[in-house]
Structure 1
Amino acid sequence: MTFEEQLIKKSYFETYMESGNRTHPIQVLGELFLEEQKIDMPDLSNLRFAQGEVYFNNKDYEAAIFKWENITNEFEPWAKKNMGDAFLELGLLTSAEELYLSIETESNILRIESGLQLLSLYIEQGKLDKAVAVIKKSVALDPDYPGVTEIARAFFEEHQDWGNEVELAVNEGVRTGSPKWFDVLNQYVEQGHTVQFAPDYFNEALSVLFQVDRSRFEQLAVSLWESYKDQSSYMTWLREFNQLFSGMDGNRKDGWTHLSAVYQDTYFELINGDRLIKEISPLIPELLTNWLKITSPANSLVSASSIIAWNEVFPGSITSSAIHDAENIVLNSREYHDGYGDSMQLFKRIIEWAENHEIEVGNKIKWMVQELQESNLHNLLIAGLSGSGKSSFVNTIVGEELITSPTAAVIRFQNEENPEILEITDTDVRQITDLEDFKESAGIRRQTHKNETIIDFKAEFPFLRDHELALIDTPGVNSNNYDKHPLYNYLRFADSMLFVLNANDPFTEKEREILSKISEYFPDLTIHFLLNKIDVIYSQQEAIDVFDQTWAEISQYYPDSKMFAFSSNYDKGKQLKDFSDFIRTNRSTVDFEQERTAKLQFFVRRAITYLLDKRIEIENNHIESNSWNEEMVGKLNGAINQLGDIEEEKSRSIQKSYRKIKDETRAEIIEKIPEILRGCSELVTEESDFGKIHTDMDEEMNKRIQEYLDGTVLPKFHDDLRGWIQLSKDEFDQSQNYLNEMAEGFNSIYGDERISLDCDFRVLDDWRRDADRMTNGVHYEKVNIMNRSTPQQFFLKSAGKLLAVLPQNNAMLYNRYKTYLETEDYYEIGVTIAKRFLQQFEIFEKSIERDVNLFFKDPFNVLEEAVEEAKAEIEFGKIELEKMRINPELYRDPLTLYEVKLRQFEWMTAAGKE
């Protein structure tokens, strides 16, 4: 046992004990102490130190402290440490801490031992921060000190201090190169305790581990890779690790199965369309190069084709040596048989992406891809010039006269027990209900270049069933559709083509031109020929000569093709049998799986192109829509202004005509009332009672006025109002007709019955009711006519009362009254009566403008809503355009990455083939 070990274990006192001496150490040391005191200059420190150990070991901590506190020689630091231990045992933690911290020594052993004691003390006090500091300091002093790193590890794990635990494992792994610490580190990574660390923190550990144990290196690298996968630092990890791994000499011979698999998963995750190219392009070249460097046999083709595909789309990004290596792998790989499944998954991913962006891949492309899954069905495309008799041949094959007139649709006939006919365009799929509907849908009038139609005709066709055949009939080629004929869009879908020639003029220059164009763009397509209308030849020999001459000419251009002679007038059964033999003999022998895969990959590429074109189309549509809506806003605002002018004009005209009726009635009343009142003079006679005649006359005058108003004015005014309402209706009808024309014009522009400018004619009904109500009778309030306080009336009333008792005075009063009644003005009376009579009609007049406004209210609302809708569409279009122009890569990048993946699948499919 070393001297330090004795001090640590408090067994230094044993150096004073003789071997075999069974005397108690207290006695031995006591006797030695007494003897030492007898010396002139005794040195008692060592003995006191030893005595303290004995007391401590026998739990007499106070005695031990007493012995150790007076030591001043080289044992003093250890004595302080021991005193701290004693205070610790006594539970005096503060005193113990002070002593441990007061120790000054050069001995790392003593520092570490004191630190470990402080660790226990701080744990007991719950001072974890101090505990962490002291154990880290102890490890830093001497990580090789027995048990110190294990104590640290146990402490960190117990208190789930994963940051320090990971740091300890990394440092010890780098320092010692011990697999044990790398295994511990890998465990922490798998438990998710390392994600808080920056990826480059592990670079040194990975570098050491690569040199020590490559299997464990792969394990740790894969664990770290997986741990960072869903973290914000994932891309940083990929960059840091691949830069590190590029400098390492790993190779395929080392068998990096797990790391290679992670590379593959990561690469496909990066290019699945969720990330922008600018984000991943700095990483991909190095990632692919490293992957190829260590790729396993199981995914070497995937790795190599990934490099070639990426470099094709992003040329110059990968080193020529890596490309050369990848090409060699592809050339020497076995044939790959999962190309169809991979390509189908990619197609579905593209469809899903498009739907998430609210864009539809054309229905025709989706239909063709779906139909390609009928792997045993041979798609035979029938083409030919207009007038070649192609329809007759098709009708013979399907066994029915289904095509009776020229068509513009592409029609595919397929045997199916459950009949179904679908009309398919890029934007719609419609079920056709009967043969008449079928013929109309296939007709030329229904077709446009932008709305090209496929008709999928499924029914029981025995010949097609027996030969596992689907017939694709295309419209006849003519001078109007030569350049953009639909057949060019379906040649890739077809497995072979039968080109129909007219025996009257076979294999013309125009036909050769069309066939040359087909062969140029589809060189692998098998082409055979059908010589039709052979019955027009006069004799059998002439028919044979025409057949031989035509075939001799065709064979110069298409030596591998075959030709079949056909006539609708020949025996159908015999012709079907001959054609059956022709099909069996000349059916393509190419690898069906390979063909289907190539076709599918073609349509995947077409879908990508379609969506890229759609992006441009959408942008152009937004621009056109904004321009159109801005124009519509101008037109709608113009219409609103016109409507405002019409409303103002009609309101003014209707009010004016109403006012005219009212003014004429007023004038008539003012004119007629004085006449009526003067006419009352006939009621005055010499026998009249002049004492009360003014009262009787006032009563009679009011009576005659009321009779006049009720009997003459009101009926006439009622008739005038009816006429006014009819006049207003004519004005309203004129306005409605104008608005109908305006709405029709707008709907013509919209291409939809979107605008309806219906005015509210209920206003007229309200006016009719008001007219009937107002002219049904007027409450007449009597007017004071003869009892007013005018001088003349006062005189007459006074004279009548005074003189009426004298009969001889009647003649004089009669003349005076009669003269007064016949010469009085009565104008003010007429004005008053007219004013009272017309009072309710004047109230009605004030509501006319409001009612006219109500009549035009709905058209105003409709036009204003249309303006707001147009403005909203303009704003939406601007926002969408802004999005598309600010970040065009959000749309373009995923499609570019899908193209990379497609190119990779194409290379994989080509592997192992010349």
Structure 2
Amino acid sequence: MTLEEQLKQKTYYKMFINEHENMHPIRVLGEAFQEEASKDLPNLSAIRFAQGEVYFHHKDFETAIFKWENITDELVPWAKKNTADAYYELGLLSTAEDIYTAISTDDATLNTEVALQLFSLYIERGKTDAAIATIKRTIAANPEYPNVTEIARTFFEEQQDWNHAVELAVSEAKRSEDLKWFEVLTKYVDNGVTKNHAPSYFTEALILLFNLEQKKFEQLVSSLWKSYEHKESYFTWIREINHLLLQLELEREDNWHELSRLHKNAYFNLIEGRYFIKMLQEFIPDLLTNWLRLADERNVVLASAAVLSWNELFPTSMSQIIVSEAEKLISITETDIDELEESLSLFDTIIDWAQAHDMGENNRFKWLVDQLVDFDRQHLLITGLTGSGKSTFVNTVLGEDLQDSPTSSMVMFSAGEEEEISEITDQEVSILNGFPEFQERMDRRRHALESIIEFRLPNGFLQENKVAFIDTPGLKGSHNDRYEVLKNLQVADAVLYVLDGNSPFTDKERGVLAQIQELAPDIPVHFLLSKMDAIAGEQEAVRIYEETKSSIHSIYPDSTVFAFSSQYDRAQQLKDIKEFIHSIKINRNLEDKRLAKLLYFIRTTIASLLQKRIDVEDQLVESIRWNEEMYTKLNGAVNQLKDTEVQKTRAITKSYRAIREAIQKEIAQEVPAMLKECSALIKEESNFSTIHMELNDEMNGKLQNYLEQTVMPKFYRSLQEWIASSKEEFDQAQEFLTEMGEGFNQMYGEEHLALVCDFKVLEDWLRDTDRMTSRFQLETVNILLRRTPSQFILKSAGKLFGAISQNKTMLYNKYKAFVENEDYAETVAEVCKQFFQPFELFEKSLERDVTLFFKNPLNVLTAAVGEAKLGIESNQDLLNKMNTNPEMFRDPLTLFGVRLRQFEWMTVAGKGIQTVY
């Protein structure tokens, strides 16, 4: 054992034992001490140092400290370290720390041992930062010291101090080039504790590992890739790793399966429509370059196609060397990639993106694609000019009159366990309720071509021959009209064109057939010559058949011509049709042809969505313009309604006040005259001491009778006339609002506004006037009992002189003159007050009632104004966003086109299939 190891383990004392192994070390060292002390120049430090070790091992720490404090030679630094160890064991940590930190030596081993002791001490005292600083200094100064890095790693892991743990693993991996540390780092990455480190932090270590062990390099890259995949630093990682890979000598023959898979997944995730092209242009070229350099056999064609499709979009972004290599590889390399699965994945991605961005359900395209991947049956599209007899052919084969009128939509008849009829539009898929509803759809003309009808029915012929009939509306009209009928032509595996045997293969039909060839040059066209029974004579029928067949073969040499008539024997006809269908069915490369059609429909879907983007913008502009126009007109309507309300309120209240004032005027005229007539009741023989009370009662009786019998009925009739007149006013207003509502509804294109007034107001008026005019009770009016001076004198004279006969004539004349000359103004005022009191509240509520009458139309118009304003604001906001970020729609669709072009490259190169455009 070396001296250094003895000092570290405190076994220096064994140097003094030698042949005295059977004696206790204390005795041996004591005798050695005595022997040395007897010398002239004794050196006792070494013996004291050894004695201190023995005492330390026997836990006599105080004696050990005493011995070590008396060391004077080169063992002083170690003695100080041992002294600190003793204080550490005694639990005097502060003293131990002071001694440790005071030790100054050039001995790397001693410095490391002191540092490790301090490290443990700091941990025990809870000084984590000091412990970290100490162990990091120790590793930096003496990383080769046994176990020091393992001690640090264990400590960092226990503390879950992953940043320092990762730093340790990276630095030790680079320093030691030991694969163990790369494995530790990989474990950290897999556990997700490296996310706080930038991708560039691992670059040097990765380069080193590539040169050491490529499989472990791939494993670590894979772990790092996954750790960054869903983090904000993902794009930084993509840039960093691809820049790194460009520097390395990658060989495809080294089978980089995992890296190939990672590049493939990253590429497809990046171009699935979530990111803008401007962002992707920064790193996609490097990504594709590296993918092609390391792609395994399964992905080399896919990577080549990706390079070529991206290069088509951005010709200057890819190295020409890489593009040339991709062209070479894609032409010579066989692949077992499932292009159909990949294409369907692309289609699903496009549809999901469209739904997420409010671009519709696109059910029609989804249905068409579903038919293409149904390889259990082939699709025979049956078409021809209107009246050619194709519906008769369909009914004959299916054995049912399913087409008893011209077809308006495309209908696919297929075998099913039970009858089920569906209508497919871009917006929805709906189930039709049996044949009557199906027929109703067939009779429909408006927007009929925007839907597809799928008619499943139990049918032995379709089931046995594994075929579906696709019946189209009859072809007529212009080139564009026919295109609307034939736009789904690519779903067919073959076309059966029906010719009228009475006039077959006309110039018009040749034009239609040329259009079919233009739209689908890869789809074989065969012919059905119908209505053959209508031709007079068998020889004539044969002649027409042969001539027609010859004319057809001159243009379509591979076509088959079949003669048909509904009058032929059905059993024999079905047998012949079965043979005919089997002869025209595609028996080779059906899946490849369907794949080409699928790519066509993907391209059509992308084009449709791009057009929808344009349509949406146009619709937003038009919607804003329309809403602005409606907003102006609706605001004008609101103002018109308010003016009408003011006008009607003024007219109705004015009319009512005129009636009240007329009645009031009549009362003012009639009441005084009526009361003056009461003077006839005064006689010379009257009792003048009570005559004023008798007259007052009589006058009140007359007033009660007059008001109840004359005035109230007249007032009632006037009110009825007023209500009738008000109804006319209201009717005029309702008629005006009805016309207004109809005008707006024409602009809305639906019954959107219902401007209905509340005529219940008239019912309330009728009820209220009936109640108020049914009976009137006048409270007694003090006509002659008031304390006016004239009345007071007259009543006093009556009481004083009424008993004297010669004074009665005088009183008679006075009373009579008084009654006849009184103006009764106060009485009239009192009578009017009582009479009109019930009607005062009614009159005050008239304005409110008219407002209630117009309340609903005003609310409806006000709400419509709010809708128009909201429509302007929301549509303008969306339009601004679309104009501000046009790439939000354009870029994803462009990237979908890149993926589509990629599959087209693969299809053409791998299978020699003609791409459908």
Normalised-by-shorter TM-score class:
over 0.9
Q: Is the 8 A contact 2:33 2:44 kept in 1?
A: no
Distance 1:668 1:158, change over 3 A: closer
Is the CA contact (8 Å cut-off) linking 1:422 and 1:455 kept in structure 2? yes
Are 1:448 and 2:451 an aligned pair? no
For 1:90, the equivalent position in structure 2 comes to 90
- Structure 1 position 749 matched with structure 2 position 752: no
Shift of 1:60: 4.5
Relative to structure 2, which stretch is displaced further, 518-527 or 224-233?
224-233
Shift of 1:901: 3.3
Give the 3-state SS of the residue equivalent to 2:490 in structure 1: coil
Residue 26 of structure 1 pairs with residue 29 of structure 2: yes
TM-score by length of 2: 0.92
Cα distance change on mapping 1:423 and 1:159 into 2, 3 Å:
closer
Question: Contact 1:29/1:51 (CA < 8 Å) preserved in 2?
Answer: no
Q: Is 1:469 aligned to residue 472 of structure 2?
A: no
Q: Distance in 1 between matches of 2:217 and 2:284?
A: 22
Deviation of the 1:521 alpha carbon: 3.1
524 and 859 in structure 1: CA distance in 2 versus 1, 3 angstrom threshold? same
Q: Distance in 1 between matches of 2:53 and 2:807?
A: 167
Q: Could you tell which deviates more after superposition, 653-662 or 534-543?
A: 534-543
1:723 equivalent to 2:726? Answer: no
Within a 5 Å distance, the mapping from 1:327-406 to structure 2 comes to 327-334=327-334, 336=336, 338-406=338-406
1:812, 1:31 → 2: CA distance? 175
Provide closer, same or farther for how the CA distance between residues 28 and 742 of structure 1 changes in structure 2, counting only shifts above 3 A.
Answer: same
Amino acid at match of 1:912: G
Unaligned runs of 5+ in 1: none
Q: Which residue of 2 aligns with 1:163?
A: 163
Cα offset, 1:759, TM superposition? 1.8
Q: Tell me how far 1:483 sits from its aligned partner.
A: 4.6
User: In the TM superposition, what is the alpha-carbon distance from 1:249 to its structure 2 partner?
Assistant: 0.8
Q: Which residue of 2 aligns with 1:229?
A: 229
Distance of 2:80 and 2:158 partners within structure 1: 30
Contact 2:627 2:871 in 1 (8 A): yes
Change (3 A) 1:898 1:668: same
The equivalent residue for 2:682 is: 684
Q: Which secondary structure does the structure 1 equivalent of 2:630 belong to?
A: helix
1:310: which partner in 2? 310
- Structure-1 residue corresponding to 2:527: 529
Distance 2:117 2:825 in 1: 128
Shift of 1:525: 0.7
Q: In the alignment, is residue 600 of structure 1 matched against residue 598 of structure 2?
A: yes
| TM-score between the two structures when normalised by the length of structure 1 | 0.93
RMSD, aligned α-carbons: 2.9
Moved more, 550-559 or 656-665: 550-559
How many Å separate the matches in 2 of 1:61 and 1:439? 108
Structure 1 position 307, deviation (Å): 2.7
AA of the residue aligned to 1:8: K
Which residues of 2 match residues 613-628 of structure 1 at below 5 A?
A: 613-628=611-626
SS in 2 for 1:231: coil
- Give the secondary structure class of the aligned counterpart of 2:910: coil
Question: Which position in structure 2 is the counterpart of 1:216?
Answer: 216
After the TM superposition, which residues 257-272 of structure 1 pair with which residues of structure 2 at under 5 Å, given as runs? 257-272=257-272
- What does residue range 836-851 of structure 1 map to in structure 2 within 5 Å? 836-851=834-849
| Residue 586, structure 1, aligned to residue 584, structure 2 | yes
- Is residue 115–residue 135 contact of structure 1 (8 Å, CA) maintained in 2? yes
Q: Which moved more, 1:510-519 or 1:644-653?
A: 510-519
1:139/1:149 contact within 8 Å kept: yes
CA distance in 2, matches of 1:33, 1:626: 112
Q: State the 1:135 CA deviation.
A: 1.9
Q: 1:673 is matched by which residue type in structure 2?
A: V
Match of 1:459 in 2: 457
Is 1:137 the counterpart of 2:143? The answer is: no
- 2:915 aligns to what? none
Counterpart code for 1:847: S
Counterpart amino acid of 1:562? T
The answer (yes or no) to whether the contact 2:298–2:335 under 8 Å persists in 1 is no
Given the superposition, is the C-alpha separation of residues 383 and 691 from structure 1 closer, same or farther in structure 2, using an over 3 Å criterion? Answer: same
Q: Counterparts of 1:515 and 1:112 in 2: how far apart (Å)? A: 93
1:514 aligns to 2:512 (yes or no): yes
More moved, 586-595 vs 428-437: 428-437
Contact 2:36 2:43 in 1 (8 A): no
Deviation at 1:837, TM superposition (A): 2.0
Name the residue aligned to 1:255: 255
Please state how far the C-alpha of 1:812 moved relative to its aligned partner.
3.9
Instruction: Give the letter for the 2:36 counterpart.
Output: F
Corresponding residue for 2:110? 110
| CA shift in 2, pair 1:830/1:547, >3 Å | same
Q: Report what 2:864 is aligned to.
A: 866
Per-residue CA shift, 1:318-363, capped at 9, x if unaligned?
3232233333333334354622233333333333333333442333
What is the match of residue 195 of structure 1? 195
Question: In structure 1, what is the Cα distance between the partners aligned to 2:787 and 2:844?
Answer: 36
1:77 and 1:105 in contact (8 A); partners too: yes
Residue 496 of structure 1 deviates from its aligned partner by: 0.7
- 8 Å contact 1:531–1:564 — kept in the other structure? yes
Write the distance in 2 (CA, Å) between the matches of 1:90 and 1:799: 138
Q: Are 1:301 and 2:301 an aligned pair?
A: yes
Q: 1:570 to 1:693 in 2, by over 3 A?
A: same
Q: Is contact 1:45–1:72 with CA below 8 Å preserved after alignment?
A: yes
Deviation at 1:45, TM superposition (A): 4.7
Aligned counterpart, 2:124? 124
Q: Distance in 2 between matches of 1:335 and 1:758?
A: 72
Spell out, residue by residue over 1:842-899, the C-alpha distance to the aligned partner (whole angstroms, 9 max, x if none): 3321111111111111221122122222323333223333343344444444444333
Question: Which amino acid in the other structure matches residue 500 of structure 2?
Answer: N
Shift in Å, 1:728: 1.4
Q: Which residue of 2 aligns with 1:650?
A: 648
Between the aligned residues of both structures, percent identity stands at 49
Conserved 8 A contact 1:380-1:498:
yes
SS at match of 1:500: strand
In structure 1, what is the Cα distance between the partners aligned to 2:413 and 2:336? 33
Tell whether the 8 Å contact from 1:477 to 1:485 is kept in structure 2 after alignment.
Answer: no
Say whether 1:854 aligns with 2:852.
Answer: yes
Does residue 489 of the first structure (1) align with residue 492 of the second (2)?
no
Alpha-carbon deviations, 1:27-64, whole Å to 9, x = none? 4532453244x14xx66555554554555455554444
Paired residues, number? 909
How far, CA to CA, are the matches of 2:18 and 2:805 in structure 1? 185
Deviates more, 1:620-629 or 1:643-652: 620-629
Q: Which moved more, 1:596-605 or 1:425-434?
A: 425-434
Q: 1:698, 1:11 → 2: CA distance?
A: 145
Q: Is the 8 A contact 1:392 1:568 kept in 2?
A: yes
8 Å CA contact 2:298–2:337 kept in 1: the answer is no
Whether the aligned pair in 2 keeps the contact of 1:333 and 1:911 (CA below 8 Å) is no
Flag the 1:794–1:573 CA change in 2: closer, same or farther, 3 A.
same
What is the distance in 2 between the residues matched to 1:807 and 1:35?
A: 182
Asked whether the 8 Å contact 2:592–2:911 carries over to 1, the reply is: no
Measured in 1, the distance between the counterparts of 2:836 and 2:186 equals 104
Letter in 2 for 1:447: R
CA offsets, 1:788-820, max 9 Å, x none? 455554554344344433334434433443344
2-side partners of 1:90 and 1:657: how far apart?
Answer: 115
The letter for the 2-side match of 1:29 is A
Contact 2:16 2:29 in 1 (8 A): no
Alignment CA distance shift 1:127-1:350 (3 Å): same
Which one is further off, 569-578 or 485-494?
Answer: 569-578
CA change 1:145–1:416 in 2 (3 A) is closer
Contact kept, 8 Å, 1:633 with 1:867, in 2: the verdict is: yes
Shift of 1:377: 1.6
How many angstroms does 1:247 deviate by? Answer: 0.7
Matched residues in 2 for 1:313 and 1:512: separation?
Answer: 39
Q: Is the 8 A contact 2:351 2:362 kept in 1?
A: no
Q: Is the 8 A contact 1:335 1:913 kept in 2?
A: no
Which whole-Å CA distance do the structure 2 matches of 1:797 and 1:166 have between them? Answer: 125
Q: Is the 8 Å Cα contact of residues 447 and 453 (structure 1) preserved in structure 2? A: no
The one-letter amino acid paired with 2:510 is: R
Structure 2 partner of 1:181: 181
Per-residue CA shift, 1:509-556, capped at 9, x if unaligned? 333333223223322110112333445555544444443443333323
Counterpart CA distance in 2 for 1:389 and 1:230 is 61
- State the one-letter code of the partner of 1:860: L
